[in-house]
Amino acid sequence: MEPDLFEKRSDYEWVIPRRGAMRVPAVIFATEALVRDMDQKVYEQAVNVATLPGIVKASYAMPDAHWGYGFPIGGVAAFDPDEGGVVSAGGVGFDISCGVRCLHTGLARADIEPVQAALAHELSRAIPAGVGSTGEIRLGEKEMDAMLAGGAAWAVQRGWGEPADLERIEERGQMQHAKPACVSAKAKKRQRDEMGTLGSGNHYLEVQEVTDVYDAPIAAAYGLAQGDIVLMIHCGSRGLGHQIGSEFLKRMAVSAAQRGIALPDRELACAPIRSEVGEEYLGAMRAAINCALANRQILTHLVREVFRRMLPRARLPLLYDVSHNTCKVEQHRVDGSRHELYVHRKGATRAFGPGHPDIPAAFRDAGQPVLIGGSMGTGSYVLAGTRESEALAFSSACHGAGRAMSRHQALKTWQGRRVVDELAARGILVKSPSLRGVAEEAPGAYKDVAAVVDAADAAGLARKVARVEPLVCIKG
Amino acid sequence: MPRSRIRCAIGPRTETDAAHSRWEHFEHGADVGVRGFGATKAAAFEQAALALTAVTTDPAAVQPRERVALACEAPDDELLLAEWLNAIVYEMSTRKMLFSRYAVHIQDGRLSAEAWGEPVDPVRHQPAVEVKGATYTGLRVAPQDAGWVAQTVVDV
């Protein structure tokens, strides 16, 4: 996009003033280079979101924003139910509560190197990944509902993890007000054998080394030091979340037309927060958040089992678990008073600043950990929420690198086997059931995650704390 | 972002269809656009379904050994296309199958269909990515060039 389409508020904040049907302005946080690189569709979609009923302050896009459906990926928008605000299935995304979890290991590179190949092999055997894979857990009707209401807390009760894990997960591992009864039988069937599976596409599990520390005090509060080995898991609510997203997109499209909600495009399908469809979506979406939290918890358990066998000295407590496709009810200060808002983050991470009561006590003074996944073969980052982020974008930050190239283009450019071999030569072991999948996910198909993270840091959305690089990557 | 088209023709049902039946992908940032052309609306839906399969694997690698019946309905053609693709995604997900042949019948907003395929074989199919669902981005079902086009973006 051309930067002169915007009013430049600072080097990192680009504003589309309110005009036409827009109820609020749209704001993109990025460097000029990132803005130039963004698809024109981000502009259109950010403007479209600004026209929706009950939107508060502005329609925001994070530095990694790209063309989504309805809302841009990297989009943040808050709605006030007292002002006729809406909830949108497309504003959350199909992979509800897709997110990133980071585990400590207490190990250093020297501990991993002698067993790196065996560890990669054992992890790839233990973690079901890829199209058509299934987990070993089968949930009956009652257990399915218990999982959808209980999230990671349910998983811990069933023995997949420790109670201490829950403190280190958003919502303490259990999204409140989930309504399993609002989740269709089809969505539940789709999840029947998918608990504890990684999925495919850009989802991964990585063993990583901390290569850089940018903010020593916050890193210390998080328990991170240069040379530490950590483990990151990126995945979401699997088939259940996808089915809920698809079903409610249709229900919202039909009901919006019936209610006379004027939408610039059907892909913006939404429903008033205070409506039957809106309330049912929120109940189902929260159940899907619990499904994602339970799924990452079960995967954590599978990883710990592998480490227990291979590296018995290792302990794998959670650093933190963030979700980046959600709609959450949060208190935010707007024009001097506090409001209860429904904050949509689609490909954006919640980033509460220091002192926020929802941050675990152990690092409340440091701000919430914000986990940013890179592509395989490049770095991922740990950031911290800032105080100023609340005024900037309802305490939100970026979520990843974003694709620079389509899957088709990537497939034409790289061969999966070569990507695996080149990464192995750099000391990164990739395990995937699909070489085509590896080619489509080649590191070069993604934007430079460092540029995205630097922009988020410079804009004040979140503070850069540490960088990690993979040693082992399990892909779907 | 440059937009390119990836063309392919596969599986026309009759010689009359052959002039029209083909599918292609169109580019969409992080996701993939699927587009089918056919002499009839139903044929365009069949081709869009093949484009859907091709997001995950090469349809030519999938043997049409097992038959699955599908049905769905929607208030208009475009929502019906999204429902159709979602019905296939659901069958792929719950049966752990891939499909390479489709036969669609549409009447009064109701779609009934048969899909032929086989269970996913990771080694032979090298499935790249699962489709999460059909979005309404780029959604279009319309007459075009004496035939029909049916397209939308699917989330992967």
Closest-CA residue in chain B for A411? Answer: B128
According to the 3-state scheme, what is the secondary structure of chain A?
Answer: CCHHHCEEEECCEEEECCCCCCCCCEEEECCHHHHHHCCHHHHHHHHHHCCCCCECCCEEEEEEEECCCCCCEEEEEEECHHHCCEECCCCCCCCCCCEEEEEEEEEEHHHHHHHHHHHHHHHHHHCCCCCCCCCCCCCCHHHHHHHHHHHHHHHHHCCCCCHHHHCCEHHHHCCCCCCHHHCCHHHHHHHCCCCCCCCCCCCEEEEEEEEEECCHHHHHHHCCCCCEEEEEEEECCHHHHHHHHHHHHHHHHHHHHHHCCCCCCHHHCCEECCCHHHHHHHHHHHHHHHHHHHHHHHHHHHHHHHHHHHCCCCCCCEEEEEECEEEEEEEEEECCEEEEEEEEEECCEECCCCCCCCCCHHHCCCCCEEEEECCCCCCEEEEEECCCHHHHHCCEECCECCECCCHHHHHHHCCHHHHHHHHHHCCCEEECCCHHHHHHCCHHHECCHHHHHHHHHHHCCEEEEEEEEEEEEEEC
Domain-embedded: residue A105: yes
Answer for the pair A70, A90: CB distance below 8 angstroms, yes or no.
yes
Of residues B16 and A224, more confidence is placed in: A224
Interface residue of A246, A291, A414 to substitute, partner B, most B CBs within 10 Å: A246
Answer for the pair A129, A433: CB distance below 8 angstroms, yes or no.
yes
Q: Which of B126, B129, B133 sits opposite A242 (nearest CB)?
A: B133
Rounded to an integer, the average pLDDT of A216-226 is: 98
Of residues B132, B154, B78, B81, the one with CA closest to residue A68:
B154
A132 touches B at CB < 8 Å: yes
Window 185-204 of A: residues touching B by CB (8 A cutoff) are 186, 189-190, 192, 199-201
Rounded to an integer, the average pLDDT of A231-245 is: 97
Distance CA A352, CA A390 (A): 7
Residue A106, pLDDT score: 98
Answer for the pair A252, A304: CB distance below 8 angstroms, yes or no.
no
Residue B19, pLDDT score: 58
Are A436 and B82 inside 8 Å of each other by CB?
A: no
**What tokens were used for B101?**
């042949």
Residue A77, pLDDT score: 98
Domains of chain B: which residue ranges?
Answer: 5-155
Domain-embedded: residue A275: yes
Of residues A39 and A383, more confidence is placed in: A383
On whether ipTM exceeds 0.90, the answer is yes
Contacts with A397 (C-beta within 8 Å, 6 or more apart), sequence order: A62, A348, A349, A351, A370, A372, A383, A385, A389, A456, A461, A462
Domain-embedded: residue A436: no
The structural domain count of chain A equals: 1
Distance CA B153, CA B134 (A): 6
Catalytic residue among A242, A324, A344, A399: A399
% pLDDT > 70, chain A: 100
Residue B18, pLDDT score: 52
Domain-embedded: residue A423: no
Distance CA B54, CA B73 (A): 24
Rounded to an integer, the average pLDDT of A155-177 is: 98
Domain-embedded: residue A124: yes
Window 99-138 of B: residues touching A by CB (8 A cutoff) are 119-120, 122-123, 125-130, 132-137
Residue B145, pLDDT score: 87
At A251, the pLDDT band (50, 70, 90 cuts) reads very high
Sign of the CA dihedral with A362 first, then A285, A400, and B54 last: positive
Closest-CA residue in chain A for B93? Answer: A190
Are B132 and A242 inside 8 Å of each other by CB?
A: yes
At A263, the pLDDT band (50, 70, 90 cuts) reads confident
- How many residues are listed for chain B in this entry? 156
In chain B, helix, strand, coil percent, each to 5? 30, 40, 30
Residue A82 has pLDDT above 60, yes or no: yes
Minimal CA separation from A66 to chain B, in Å:
7
Domain-embedded: residue A242: yes
Contacts with A420 (C-beta within 8 Å, 6 or more apart), sequence order: A430, A432, A435, A438
Of residues B21, B26, B19, the one with CA closest to residue B139:
B26
Interface residue of B52, B126, B152 to substitute, partner A, most A CBs within 10 Å: B126
> Which CATH number fits the domain that encloses residue A347?
3.90.1860.10
According to the 3-state scheme, what is the secondary structure of B20-70?
Answer: CCEEEEEEECCEEEEEEEECCHHHHHHHHHHHHHHHHCCHHHCCCCEEEEE
| Domain membership of residue A270 as a residue range | 3-404+446-475
Round the CA-based radius of gyration of chain B to a whole number and report it.
14
Are A243 and B139 inside 8 Å of each other by CB?
A: no
Are B122 and A131 inside 8 Å of each other by CB?
A: yes
Interface residue of B31, B55, B88, B97 to substitute, partner A, most A CBs within 10 Å: B31
Domain-embedded: residue A51: yes
Residue A377, pLDDT score: 78
Rounded to an integer, the average pLDDT of A60-69 is: 94
pLDDT for A279-335, tens place per residue?
999 999 999 999 999 999 999 999 999 999 999 999 999 999 999 999 999 999 998
Residue A376, pLDDT score: 83
Domain-embedded: residue A425: no
Are A67 and B122 inside 8 Å of each other by CB?
A: no
Are A67 and B82 inside 8 Å of each other by CB?
A: no
A377 touches B at CB < 8 Å: no
The one-digit pLDDT tens for each residue of chain B (156 residues) are 334 445 444 444 444 455 579 999 998 878 899 999 999 999 999 999 999 999 999 999 999 999 999 999 999 999 999 999 999 999 999 999 999 999 999 999 999 999 999 999 999 999 999 999 999 999 999 999 899 999 999 999
Rounded to an integer, the average pLDDT of A137-150 is: 96
Closest-CA residue in chain A for B154? Answer: A69
How many beta-carbon pairs below 8 A join chains A and B? Answer: 147
Residues of A in contact with B6 (CB under 8 A): 408
Contacts with A405 (C-beta within 8 Å, 6 or more apart), sequence order: A413, A444, A445, A446
At A262, the pLDDT band (50, 70, 90 cuts) reads confident
Closest-CA residue in chain A for B95? Answer: A132
The mean pLDDT value of chain A amounts to 96
Q: Is 2.60.15.10 the CATH number for B5-155? A: no
Active-site residue flag, A104: no
Minimal CA separation from B16 to chain A, in Å:
30
Answer for the pair A293, A286: CB distance below 8 angstroms, yes or no.
no
Are B82 and A402 inside 8 Å of each other by CB?
A: no
Estimate to the nearest angstrom the gap between the alpha carbon of A174 and the chain centroid: 17
Are B74 and A267 inside 8 Å of each other by CB?
A: no
Q: Which of A70, A266, A402 sits opposite B30 (nearest CB)?
A: A402
Q: Which of A41, A90, A437 sits opposite B129 (nearest CB)?
A: A437
Distance CA A385, CA A369 (A): 7
